[in-house]
């Protein structure tokens, strides 16, 4: 494609060259040469300056970009970039005659013509220079360790959702972004206000673009001394402190910006973010700052994103979705918008939409580890447990402080895949980090139930129910372990404590089934009533095995000669991860085991 770009430029086919370069930049936004080439085919000086600035941001020593910016008057001349006169081609220069000792003034038409010829020569030199550079790059072979297929824009088909696949290397596990030179570029600093008298400001801005936060604070503090009335400088200082995980210093800087200019929208957004990180301000105050920022600048997309995060925290899922859709119109390529919309769709029980958004977030920025977590969760919500192993593995391998819930999801995926040893190993690894983690203990208890180790399961469920004594899902799980060790009376008492919490027909089916089993040796008539209650539920909501067992047990209990105690073999497994807020256990049949597919390590 490099050669095609060069050919298109040489032939004057700028639209084709621009299209090819756009495709190249989608693959690799951190290649400065792509940006320099793009500056030669865009239409306006503003676009050229932007492209050359991007090249210079990536490669501060790029002389071609510097010369282009100097020619466009976007950068002051630099002596080391001036071509000596003896090396300049002057075939286009004209001899200036001086009749009668006086200099003849050139007309503006001649000056324009000569200047145009000069720019054309410089342009040809630039093309020749770039051609040589691109030829050298063509000969360089990059060894990639991971390949990602992008999600087609506007696509809704399942065929467009492609799981990233690792290519093993001999050097051990490789981060998936090692071969990626460019990731999603965050929104640049808001409202960059020119401060021409302050060199410290310009240096601070360049340091901000390179994410050198200490230098940002240093030089912007100097700029603030020169311009003590500039609110935007204090806002940038606050952003640098926030990126350094110092919300208290950030808050002080944002407050200073607001004091200087009460109408400066980003300072209110920054203050809300800092206060949320500190955790000392109530939700109403956070929302007030965000709504103030939105009133001051309705086109500032990141405000909608933060409002959505606040709605998600407050479980206002419809409002969160509305704000995320508004954020998407202002931030069309933000992975954070897709990431949090996937989370909202998961909470709203829309797993297919969640999966589509999770894939899109991951494709936009494969260095954002939370996208792997949400992608794994969304795959499991769609019943694709084996596919969820890879993204969850990546998340746990590279995240410095992973959520313990990820261990629970990954262990559950291995259990569904039939690799119970791997699942148990993952649970034990997570419990070394936090021995009382609810999600991991719950999933390990379910694993012990499946392997028939009921006493071990009971130990885990006892710890779980201490954390959530009123939870329906934990009580159901504990009663199954009690039935497994034939503690029928304890199982009956456990189930009775949650009888009033069974609201859906599925929850009632779980309750009637397990309680009937526990009652058969305690009160046959009461057991018959629960079997009848189970049979009275809509058949499509009750597992067929349970209905068959209910009819057989009811018929046996009507026969007075039956003395044999029932053989308790609970066949219920959890297919949804319980959460600390709304745990729900879905009754399903035991999943059919299929051969384990070959997975890339």
Q: Is 161 left (phi over 0), alpha (psi -120 to 50) or beta?
A: beta
Nearest to 191 by CA among 291, 269, 75, 305: 269
**According to the model, what pLDDT value does residue 458 have?**
93
- 466: three-class secondary structure by DSSP: helix
State yes or no: pLDDT of 347 exceeds 90: yes
**According to the model, what pLDDT value does residue 107 have?**
52
**According to the model, what pLDDT value does residue 3 have?**
74
Task: Give residues with Cβ within 8 angstroms of 406, minimum separation 6.
Answer: 373, 376, 392, 395, 396, 399
Task: From the options 3.90.1150.10, 1.25.40.10, 1.10.3210.10, 3.30.365.10, give the CATH code of 2-81+110-137.
Answer: 1.25.40.10
Q: Find residue 44's DSSP bridge partners.
A: none
Q: What percent of the chain has pLDDT over 90?
A: 35
**According to the model, what pLDDT value does residue 185 have?**
40
| Cα–Cα distance for residue pair 280/405, rounded to 1 Å | 26
Nearest to 376 by CA among 401, 348, 339, 349: 339
What is the average pLDDT score of the chain? 77
**According to the model, what pLDDT value does residue 254 have?**
95
Report pLDDT digits (tens) over 222-259: 999 888 888 999 999 999 999 999 999 999 999 999 99
What is the average pLDDT across 85-111?
45
What is the average pLDDT across 38-43?
84
Q: What is the DSSP letter of 598?
A: P
Nearest to 242 by CA among 275, 283, 219, 288: 275
**According to the model, what pLDDT value does residue 288 have?**
94
**According to the model, what pLDDT value does residue 578 have?**
44
Q: What percent of the chain has pLDDT over 70?
A: 72
Is 309 in contact with 340 (CB distance < 8 Å)?
Answer: yes
pTM listed for this prediction: 0.58
- Binned at pLDDT 50, 70 and 90, residue 202 comes out as confident
Q: List the chain domain ranges.
A: 2-81+110-137
- 588: three-class secondary structure by DSSP: strand
Q: Which residue has the higher pLDDT, 133 or 195?
A: 195
- 403: three-class secondary structure by DSSP: coil
Nearest to 134 by CA among 49, 64, 81: 64
| Degrees, nearest 5: CA angle 114-120-125 | 130
- Binned at pLDDT 50, 70 and 90, residue 388 comes out as very high
Report pLDDT digits (tens) over 530-581: 899 989 999 888 898 998 988 988 888 876 554 444 545 454 444 344 443 3
**According to the model, what pLDDT value does residue 244 have?**
93
**According to the model, what pLDDT value does residue 170 have?**
31
- For the chain, helix (H) and strand (E) counts, in that order, are 27, 2
Is 553 in contact with 531 (CB distance < 8 Å)?
Answer: yes
Q: Which residue has the higher pLDDT, 69 or 592?
A: 69
Going 212 to 213 to 219 to 220, the CA torsion angle's sign is: positive
């Amino acid at each position: 494609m490099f050669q095609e770009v060069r050919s298109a430029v040489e032939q004057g086919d700028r639209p084709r060259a621009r299209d090819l370069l756009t495709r190249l930049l989608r693959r690799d936004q951190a290649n400065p040469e792509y940006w320099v080439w793009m500056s030669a085919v865009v239409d306006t000086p503003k676009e050229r300056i932007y492209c050359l600035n991007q090249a210079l941001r990536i490669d501060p020593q790029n002389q071609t970009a510097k010369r282009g910016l100097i020619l466009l008057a976007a950068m002051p001349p630099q002596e080391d970039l001036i071509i000596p006169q003896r090396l300049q081609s002057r075939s286009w220069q004209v001899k200036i005659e001086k009749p009668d000792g006086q200099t003849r003034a050139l007309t503006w038409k001649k000056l324009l013509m000569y200047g145009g010829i000069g720019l054309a020569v410089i342009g040809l030199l630039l093309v020749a220079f770039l051609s040589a550079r691109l030829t050298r790059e063509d000969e360089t072979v990059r060894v990639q360790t991971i390949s990602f297929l992008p999600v087609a824009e506007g696509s809704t088909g399942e065929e467009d959702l492609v799981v990233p696949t690792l290519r093993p290397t001999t050097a051990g596990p490789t981060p998936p972004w090692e071969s990626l030179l460019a990731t999603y570029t965050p929104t640049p600093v808001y409202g960059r206000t020119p401060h021409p008298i302050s060199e410290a400001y310009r240096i601070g801005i360049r340091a901000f673009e390179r994410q050198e936060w200490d230098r940002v604070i240093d030089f912007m503090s100097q700029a603030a001394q020169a311009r003590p009335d500039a609110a935007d400088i204090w806002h940038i200082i606050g952003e640098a402190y926030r990126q350094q995980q110092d919300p208290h210093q950030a808050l002080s800087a944002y407050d200073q910006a607001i004091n200087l200019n009460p109408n400066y929208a980003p300072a209110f957004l920054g203050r809300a973010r800092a206060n949320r990180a500190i955790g000392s301000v109530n939700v109403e105050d956070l929302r007030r700052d965000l709504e103030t920022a939105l009133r001051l600048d309705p086109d500032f997309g990141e405000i909608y994103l933060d409002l959505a995060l606040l709605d998600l925290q407050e479980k206002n899922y419809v409002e969160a979705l509305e704000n995320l859709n508004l954020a998407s119109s202002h931030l069309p390529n933000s992975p954070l918008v897709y990431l949090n919309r996937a989370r909202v769709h998961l909470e709203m029980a829309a797993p297919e939409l969640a999966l589509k958004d999770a894939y899109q977030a991951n494709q936009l920025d494969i260095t954002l580890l939370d996208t792997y977590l949400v992608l794994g969760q969304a795959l499991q919500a769609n019943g694709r447990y084996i596919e969820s192993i890879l993204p969850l593995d990546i998340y746990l391998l590279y995240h410095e402080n992973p959520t313990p819930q990820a261990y629970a999801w990954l262990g559950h995926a291995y259990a569904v895949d039939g690799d119970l040893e791997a699942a148990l190993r993952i649970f034990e690894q997570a419990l070394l980090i936090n021995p009382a983690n609810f999600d991991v203990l719950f999933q390990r208890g379910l694993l012990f139930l499946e392997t028939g180790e009921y006493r071990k399961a009971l130990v885990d469920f006892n710890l779980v129910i201490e954390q959530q004594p009123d939870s329906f899902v934990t009580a159901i799980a504990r009663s199954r372990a009690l039935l497994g060790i034939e503690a029928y009376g304890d199982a009956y008492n456990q189930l009775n404590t949650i009888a009033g919490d069974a609201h859906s027909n599925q929850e009632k089916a779980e309750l009637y089934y397990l309680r009937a089993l526990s009652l058969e040796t305690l009160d046959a008539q009461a057991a018959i009533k629960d079997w009848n209650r189970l049979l009275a539920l809509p058949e499509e909501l009750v597992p067929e095995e349970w209905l068959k067992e209910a009819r057989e047990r009811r018929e046996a209990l009507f026969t007075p000669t039956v003395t044999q105690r029932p053989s308790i073999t609970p066949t219920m497994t959890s297919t949804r991860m319980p959460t600390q807020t709304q745990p729900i256990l879905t009754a399903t049949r035991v999943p059919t085991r299929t051969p384990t597919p070959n997975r890339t390590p």
